[in-house]
């Protein structure tokens, strides 16, 4: 036997026991999004590389170092999506949805980034996010933030903290960028290699450096707030005012700039202190320039993306995940004619919404009961010669071992009421 093939580093299987929590999260999120008037959209996992280069930005870590890019058999340059915003804009443009009734959408699915795998950082990870178009008002920024806040509440999460900042309009950012470059140039000696590189390409990104000396430098770096034009300032003030009115607590983090190029005005992140270094569970903000960059009419937009793996881990730590639901019934059938009766009973039982595993294979009574026990089902229905002759079924409670006989006519009512009581 050759060695079994393993999954790719940084790409994880989600096993049945893990998925209970995932499905719970997806279900709660989809209800919350629907309550805000958002509709689901599904887009391909692969897009033209150019889409990401144009939207996320050539000089971002994602496009420079992290994308899974390849040539397909036609010689087209394609990439696995590292995030979904660019693809959603592409789809909205392609189908003419941006200026129609559907301007609020949500998505969920896998994203791919070739980062260094560690706890909370994977190469295939999952995001659930929303995007909304056509509304330039700060009210939209607050709407998307309040959706996340509502979601945490519904999930029973406590202790997640909101950080916000503004990146202003592109015009006010030009002046700020100059001031930053001047400041960092005057302090070149304290910059690490990565920051030196960013000083040329994307100086704002120095603000979220993890290097100790640079963090110190950032404490007293110029603050964008002092460079905002009056419209940008008003926009940010309104975000703050509405958040306060809604009772959504936040802190302003002047160093919050986020990794993607397309943000403007409000940016935000939800953080937790329970997950170690990878402490952001959700990031988002406004990205007014992106639609135009991708060939559409100028269209304001805002959105966020939640990191599903991190959120699930947090839900586990806070014991907010339920256990896997048990299968209700396992049918044990000890002969060919018992099997026929069992199969047709199973169909009837499933019709009323009860889950049934029908034994396949081994005909021995003992081995089937063992399988019933191992399956985690609550009840075993046993059909043997006796039962066939008396048109009845033996019902065995697998936890206690108790058993009783029920006529086939009364079977549905009996097992329904037993399962209801057991809930
Ligand atoms: P971003 O698309 O970079 O703004 O990320 C949004 C959220 O996705 C982050 O706050 C994380 O929770 C999550 N995330 C981003 N990259 C990864 C990754 N490599 N592995 C796991 N989660 C990630």
Look at ligand 1, atom 4, and give the residue with the nearest C-alpha: 283
Residue 382: the pLDDT is 96
For the chain, what's the residue count?
423
Tell me if 209 sits within 8 A of 215, measured CB to CB: yes
342 lines ligand 1 (CB under 6 A): no
How many angstroms does the Cα of residue 302 sit away from the middle of ligand 1?
17
How many angstroms does the Cα of residue 301 sit away from the middle of ligand 1?
20
Look at ligand 1, atom 8, and give the residue with the nearest C-alpha: 307
Would you call 410 exposed, middle or buried from its count of C-beta atoms within 10 A (0-12, 13-18, 19+)?
exposed
Phi and psi at residue 216, in whole multiples of 5°? -60, -45
Pocket perturbation via mutation, ligand 1, pick of 127, 131, 275 by most ligand atoms within 8 A of CB: 127
Per DSSP, helices labelled H in 187-225 are 193-201, 212-219
84 lines ligand 1 (CB under 6 A): no
pLDDT tens digits, one per residue of 212-235: 999 999 999 999 999 999 999 999
- Secondary structure E strands in 176-263: 251-252
Residue 259: the pLDDT is 65
Tell me if 47 sits within 8 A of 352, measured CB to CB: no
Question: How many whole angstroms separate alpha carbon 240 and alpha carbon 233?
Answer: 11
| DSSP characters over 303-322 | EEEEEHHHHHHHHHHTT-PP
Pocket perturbation via mutation, ligand 1, pick of 14, 62, 125 by most ligand atoms within 8 A of CB: 125
Look at ligand 1, atom 17, and give the residue with the nearest C-alpha: 121
How many angstroms does the Cα of residue 273 sit away from the middle of ligand 1?
16
Residue 78 CA from chain centroid, whole number: 23
pLDDT tens digits, one per residue of 71-124: 999 999 999 999 999 999 999 999 999 887 779 999 999 999 999 999 999 999
Would you call 51 exposed, middle or buried from its count of C-beta atoms within 10 A (0-12, 13-18, 19+)?
middle
In terms of Cα–Cα distance, which of 132, 83, 90 is closest to 111? 83
Nearest ligand 1 atom, CA 62: 3
Tell me if 309 sits within 8 A of 122, measured CB to CB: yes
129 lines ligand 1 (CB under 6 A): no
Consecutive sets of 10 residues in the chain, 423 residues long: mean pLDDT of each?
Answer: 92 93 95 97 97 85 90 97 97 91 92 96 98 96 98 94 95 90 93 90 88 92 94 97 98 87 91 92 95 94 98 94 88 93 95 96 88 95 94 95 95 93 80
**Residue showing tokens 């110190």:** 216
Nearest ligand 1 atom, CA 121: 20
In the DSSP assignment, the letter for residue 246 is: T
The whole-model pTM stands at 0.92
How many angstroms does the Cα of residue 310 sit away from the middle of ligand 1?
9
Would you call 139 exposed, middle or buried from its count of C-beta atoms within 10 A (0-12, 13-18, 19+)?
exposed
**Residue showing tokens 């703050």:** 240
> CB under 8 Å to 63, separation ≥6 — which residues?
52, 53, 56, 57
Look at ligand 1, atom 18, and give the residue with the nearest C-alpha: 121
283 lines ligand 1 (CB under 6 A): yes
309 lines ligand 1 (CB under 6 A): yes
Tell me if 264 sits within 8 A of 289, measured CB to CB: yes
Residue 122: the pLDDT is 98
How many angstroms does the Cα of residue 315 sit away from the middle of ligand 1?
17
Look at ligand 1, atom 15, and give the residue with the nearest C-alpha: 307
Buried b (16+ CB within 10 A) or exposed e, 257-288: bbbbbbbbbbbbbbbbeebeebbbbbbbbbbb
As a whole number of angstroms, the longest Cα–Cα distance in the chain is 94
How many angstroms does the Cα of residue 415 sit away from the middle of ligand 1?
46
122 lines ligand 1 (CB under 6 A): yes
85 lines ligand 1 (CB under 6 A): no
In terms of Cα–Cα distance, which of 319, 316, 310 is closest to 272? 310
> CB under 8 Å to 192, separation ≥6 — which residues?
209, 211, 213, 214
Question: How many whole angstroms separate alpha carbon 62 and alpha carbon 83?
Answer: 9
């Amino acid at each position: 036997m050759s060695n079994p093939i393993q999954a790719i580093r940084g790409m994880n299987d989600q096993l049945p026991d893990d998925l209970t929590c995932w499905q719970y999260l997806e279900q709660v999120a989809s209800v919350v999004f629907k309550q805000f008037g958002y509709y689901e959209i599904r887009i391909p996992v692969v897009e033209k590389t150019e889409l990401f280069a144009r939207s996320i930005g050539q000089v971002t870590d994602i496009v420079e170092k992290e994308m899974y890019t390849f040539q397909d058999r036609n010689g087209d340059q394609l990439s696995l999506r590292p995030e979904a915003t660019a693809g959603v804009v592409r789809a909205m443009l392609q189908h003419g949805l941006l200026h129609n009734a559907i301007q609020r959408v949500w998505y969920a699915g896998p994203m791919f980034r070739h980062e260094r795998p560690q706890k909370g950082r994977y190469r295939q990870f999952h995001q659930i996010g929303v995007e909304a178009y056509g509304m330039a008002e700060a009210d939209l920024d607050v709407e998307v933030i309040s959706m996340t806040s509502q979601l945490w509440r519904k999930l029973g999460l406590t202790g997640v903290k909101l950080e916000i900042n503004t990146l202003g309009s592109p015009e006010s950012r030009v002046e700020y960028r100059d001031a930053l470059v001047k400041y960092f140039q005057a302090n070149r000696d304290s910059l690490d290699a990565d920051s030196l590189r960013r000083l040329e390409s994307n100086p704002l990104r120095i603000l979220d450096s993890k290097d100790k000396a640079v963090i110190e430098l950032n404490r007293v770096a110029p603050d964008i707030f002092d460079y905002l034009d009056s419209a940008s300032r008003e926009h940010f003030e309104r975000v703050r005012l509405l958040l306060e009115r809604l009772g959504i607590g936040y802190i302003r983090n002047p160093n919050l700039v986020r990794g993607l190029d397309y943000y403007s005005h409000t940016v935000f992140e939800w953080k937790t202190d329970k997950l170690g270094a990878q402490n952001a569970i959700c990031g988002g903000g406004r990205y007014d320039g992106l639609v135009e960059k991708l060939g559409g009419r100028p269209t304001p937009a805002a959105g966020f993306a939640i990191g599903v793996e991190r959120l699930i881990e947090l839900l586990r730590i806070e014991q907010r995940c339920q256990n896997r639901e048990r299968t209700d019934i396992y049918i044990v059938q000890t002969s060919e004619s018992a099997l026929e009766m069992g199969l047709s009973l199973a169909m009837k039982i499933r019709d009323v919404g009860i889950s049934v595993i029908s034994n396949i294979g081994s005909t021995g009574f003992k081995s089937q009961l063992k399988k019933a026990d191992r399956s985690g089902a609550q009840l075993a229905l046993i059909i043997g010669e006796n039962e066939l002759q008396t048109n009845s079924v033996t019902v065995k409670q697998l936890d206690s071992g108790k058993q009783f006989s029920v006529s086939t006519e009364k079977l549905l009512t009996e097992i329904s009421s037993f399962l209801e009581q057991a809930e």
